[in-house]
Structure 1
Amino acid sequence: MSSHAPTPLHLAADHLDAALARIAARIGPAYVITQPGDTEGYLTEPRGLYRGETPAVVRPGSTAEVAFVVETCAAAGLPLVPQGGNTGLVGGQVPFGAILLSLGRLNKIRALDATDLTLTAEVGCTLHQVQAAAAEADCLFPLSIASEGTCQIGGNLATNAGGTAVLRYGNTRELTLGLEVVLADGRIWNGLSRLRKDNTGYDLRDLFVGSEGTLGIITAAVLRLFPKPKARATVLAGLSDPHQVLALFRRLRAVAGDALTGFEMMPDVGMEMVLKHMPGAVRAIQDRQPFYVLAELTSTRRDDDLAAMVEGVLGEALEAEEIADAVIASSEAQSHALWKLREDLSEAQKFEGGSIKHDVSVPVSKVAEFVLAATAACEAHMPGLRVCAFGHVGDGNIHFNLSQPIGMDKTAFLDSWEAFNRLVHDLVASYDGSISAEHGIGLLKREELLLYKDPVALDVMASLKAALDPAGLLNPGKVLVGKG
């Protein structure tokens, strides 16, 4: 791995005990968890790369209680690590001796306005809860990721989550109008604005979104909604190489415009993993292909014949020999089944042993070149390696995952993580790309950031951290090396 777990902090017992007693008196003793058996579920992140430790899990139930906890800890010099659904993939939510601030009890939908197309949610709401509330009002909240049943809005905001609909709707930052944030000293910034236009000074909203809890604790957000789609067309196509993937993307985008909501790529090795390990997965295209594209078009007009539009594009692509085969979903159930093939890929990889994962982005025009070059470099470095490059081609975000050679020891394979980082991330940098597209920096990539981020940008980031959290108590050791 590129970043090893830090040495756990050792908190002064007298300050710790006094602060926890004050917090328990305010939020209730049941919500201050100190027994090791009860805190265990908060300490290990989904991939098992890090296991943390904490003297207490604190579970406030309101913004005022969060502010009290933060103020109390600031006065005692006690660090805090905020955590939502604990689905993060870069270790940003794992405490190493700090108090863990679990935000799951802040789970209310405060307001929904179908005219303003806004929904105000507390950060402990799951993504699915927000999606369902929007749907009840015949609206759409378009953020969609595989963990949406358990991930929480706070984590989505903290990492500026992306997902499968970024092509049409943007990342979480673009889906956010306003925030409520508890600052490092316990003050509450009420920025819950529903305005689409507000030029009154610095944009604090964009500062906190994506900051991974290192600058402040987001407690609520005003989220953008959209009219609910009434027509949909989902297609799975088989292709021979990533250049053909881009060719199909250009064809669909030229015809569909903004109706092209999602455009995902999967390699054959990934498709076979899903078909082998995930219950209910069915081969949609009978002849195996080196690559697959899952594309979706949506419209708010019921009479838009999106399937006919897709058929026309596919016909041209077949004639140009850019695709080998394709299937268009004829029902919602078939559309769901096609999307499951893509959504289950990360889970299916777990059954194939160790996986070294890279969440990167390059300009869309360079996706094919990058995938081919990075694949060749990694396979040359380790014979038998299985490259599983998939993801959001339409916005340039590729999950360049590497599955261990069959029969290789998992630990020995994972020990190669840093060597593969150099191969993959150096290539990403050569294409003017990013080493983190949608998962954040957290702990896993903080040293990588030093290698690839502009030094002036790093200095500005450090200055912001020092200004907003001078004692370095908010999510210490995450994002920036040596900052808190």
Structure 2
Amino acid sequence: MNDFLDRCRGTVGTNHVLTAPGDTAAFLTDWRRRFTGKALAVVKPGTVAEVAAIVRLCNEFRVPIVPQGGNTGLVLGSVPDDSGTAIVLSLTRLNRIRTVDTVNNTMTVESGCILEEVQNAAAEAGRLFPLSLAAEGSCTIGGNLSTNAGGTAVLRYGNTRELCLGLEVVTPQGEIWDGLRGLRKDNTGYDLRDLFIGAEGTLGIITAAVLKLFPQPRAQLTALAAMQTPEDALRLLTLAQGTCGAALTGFELMSDFCLKLVAKHFAQLRLPFPQNYPQYVLLELSDSESEEHANAMLESLITDALEQGVIQDAAVASSIAQSKALWNLREHIPLAQAEEGKNIKHDVSVPISRIVEFIRTTDALLQQSFPKCRMVTFGHLGDGNLHYNVSPPEDEAPDAFIARQAAINRVVHDSVHRFGGSISAEHGLGALKRDEVRLYKSEVEMKLMQTLKHALDPHGLMNPGKVIQA
């Protein structure tokens, strides 16, 4: 492969073809540090033309390609396997914001742009890019699009798919498709854009995107509500939607155990209540009218919820600092669980109307088969997405518990399927859930996916072993 690597160096520059172990290590290990793969090299193109040229070289030499952005994924979708035959194609040098159009409310950005930088650029132009998630300081737009990332504002603005109007993509043959159209209506054939969004780099490489922008809200209010049961949380959601309408931007469910873990491992983060409650909801309003209007809506909602016994207490942030403090409670749950030790994560979605029954039923099933396991249940209740995580009993060795992951996954995923849900809501399938999903998709659906894969990537070079077994 020396000839191949030399030609890669001639295409992107010697400094951007990494082969030394010290240089490639960060690209080969997944974010949770559960798996480390091997690669022929890490190649870092700086333009879409260079991406296309590298893909053509990979076709010529039949070298598999693993596209990678910020490498913040949780399902082994952005790291190579342990064969050492693939290159990692890092897109972090494609990090330019090409245009901002405040009249059309769009922004054209390259796929290596960090999400937080895109948010900031939108804000500097007096606009809002609403995608928000815990890894926004390190994840990239290309990765967000490739996994159809969700986050905390899906309730109002939708997943990343809904925030994208057009794409630029390098095909598996090394051709460049320029679909960077900032159009909200375009009925001129198959929707190629949606083929590549959520495909995790298995059908082509996203190199740029036209993203939707929105007016900056005139007011953003954050509140934390305490209640007894998940049923109360659903009742609060119904009240909030009726009172606040489209102003309801975020609605996050957190159990008491989640926040006890946060307090245990991050002592500086404390609940604003004098006592603990079984369940909490963090909600956010984004109002386009005025702060007074937003305050009136929130006050009306909390008053009604208290009077109807839906919630027992509520704390409303009166400053940006207090709002950040409340959001920190939510965002530190995964970090606290990691500090607690190894755990088994599930990113699932269930119809909102069935979430309560799903939690109750699945909790009971897990306790029957794995007594004293500890449930870390939190997530985006407003759009039906739960992070339904399982930590080992306090008296069980973490490694022994993790050894039972397949059995625990089966209990959870079978239950998700019975409730009409999905075993991957926003993290994707990657390699981790590639085989698992075959248990829950029909043969027709799997054949359709395989047909698309074979048609677009006949040599199977694009992120092999991810999403679907070719």
2:57 matched residue in structure 1: 72
Contact 1:307 1:328 (C-alpha < 8 Å) held by counterparts: no
Cα separation, 1, equivalents of 2:272 and 2:92: 38
Q: Deviations over 1:304-352 (max 9, x none)?
A: 4222222222222222222111111111111111011101111110111
**What is the distance in 1 between the residues matched to 2:73 and 2:146?**
10
Counterpart residue number, 1:4: none
Cα drift, residue 274 of structure 1:
1.0
Q: Deviations over 1:428-462 (max 9, x none)?
A: 11111101000000011011110011221110100
Look up the match of 1:212: 200
Equivalent in the alignment of 1:159:
147
In the alignment, is the contact (CA less than 8 A) between 2:348 and 2:388 conserved in 1? yes
Secondary structure of the structure 2 residue equivalent to 1:356: coil
Tell me if the contact between 2:226 and 2:277 (Cα under 8 Å) persists in the aligned partners.
Answer: yes
Q: Which moved more, 1:177-186 or 1:372-381?
A: 372-381
Distance 1:129 1:365 in 2: 36
Matched, 1:23 2:17: no
Write out per-residue CA displacement over residues 373-403 of structure 1, whole angstroms, 9 at most, x where no aligned residue. 1111112222221101100000000000011
In structure 1, the residue matched to 2:37 is: 52
Query: How many angstroms does 1:302 deviate by?
Result: 2.4
Q: Distance in 2 between matches of 1:71 and 1:279?
A: 53
Match of 2:212 among 199, 224, 230: 224
Matches of 2:275 and 2:267 in 1, distance apart?
21
- Supply the AA of the counterpart residue of 2:335: E
Question: How far off its partner does 1:219 sit?
Answer: 0.3
Please say if 1:43 is aligned against 2:24. no
Letter in 1 for 2:226: G
2:237 matched residue in structure 1: 249
Partners of 1:307 and 1:51 lie apart in 2 by: 49
Amino acid at match of 1:116: N
Match of residue 358 from structure 1: 346
Matches within 5 A, 1:132-171: 132-171=120-159
Indicate the SS of the match to 1:65: helix
SS at match of 2:423: coil
Take 1:215 and 1:279, find their aligned partners in 2: how far apart are those partners?
A: 45
Distance 2:249 2:191 in 1: 28
For residues 1-57 of structure 1, the C-alpha deviation after alignment (integer angstroms, 9 at most, x for no partner) is xxxxxxxxxxxxxxx221111110121000000011211111111112221111200
Map residues 386-425 of structure 1 onto 2, 5 A cutoff: 386-425=374-413
Which of residues 223, 226, 235 in structure 2 aligns to 1:235? Answer: 223
Residue 303 of structure 1 deviates from its aligned partner by 4.5
- Equivalent residue, structure 1, for 2:415: 427
Tell me the distance in 1 between the aligned counterparts of 2:110 and 2:174: 18
Q: Aligned residues, how many? A: 467
Match of 1:85 among 51, 66, 70: 70
More displaced stretch, 323-332 vs 391-400: 323-332
> Which whole-Å deviations, capped at 9, do the CAs of 1:354-391 have from their partners, x for residues lacking one?
11011000111111111111111112222221101100
How many Å separate the matches in 1 of 2:345 and 2:224? 24
Matched residue type, 2:13: G
Equivalent of 2:90 in 102, 115, 132 = 102
* Post-superposition offset of 1:192: 0.3
Unaligned runs of 5+ in 2: none
Tell me if structure 2 keeps the 8 A contact 1:262–1:394.
yes
Q: CA RMSD in A?
A: 1.0
Contact residue 243 and residue 300 of structure 2 kept, 8 A: no
1:130 aligns with 2:118: yes
Partner of 2:465: helix, strand, or coil? coil
Give SS of 1:220's match.
strand
Misfit runs of 4+, over 6 Å? none
Distance 1:286 1:148 in 2: 32
Give me the whole-angstrom Cα distance separating, in 2, the residues matched to 1:208 and 1:183: 10
Corresponding position of 2:276:
288
Deviation at 1:479, TM superposition (A): 0.6
Q: What secondary structure sits across from 1:110 in the alignment?
A: strand
What's 1:193 paired with? 181
3-state DSSP class of the match of 1:446?
coil
| TM-score in terms of structure 2 length | 0.98
Report sequence identity in percent.
Answer: 54
> Which position in structure 2 is the counterpart of 1:8?
none
Residue 248 of structure 2 is matched in structure 1 by 260
CA distance in 2, matches of 1:256, 1:437: 26
Aligned to 1:340: 328
Mapped partners of 1:66, 1:38: distance in 2: 20
Q: Hey, what's the Cα distance between the residues in 2 that align with 1:50 and 1:413?
A: 18
| Deviation larger for 288-297 or 271-280 | 271-280
Which deviates further from its counterpart, 17-26 or 183-192?
17-26
Q: Structure 1 unaligned runs (5+)?
A: 1-15
Q: Report the counterpart of residue 9 of structure 1 in structure 2.
A: none
| Partner Cα distance (1:474, 1:72) in 2 | 13
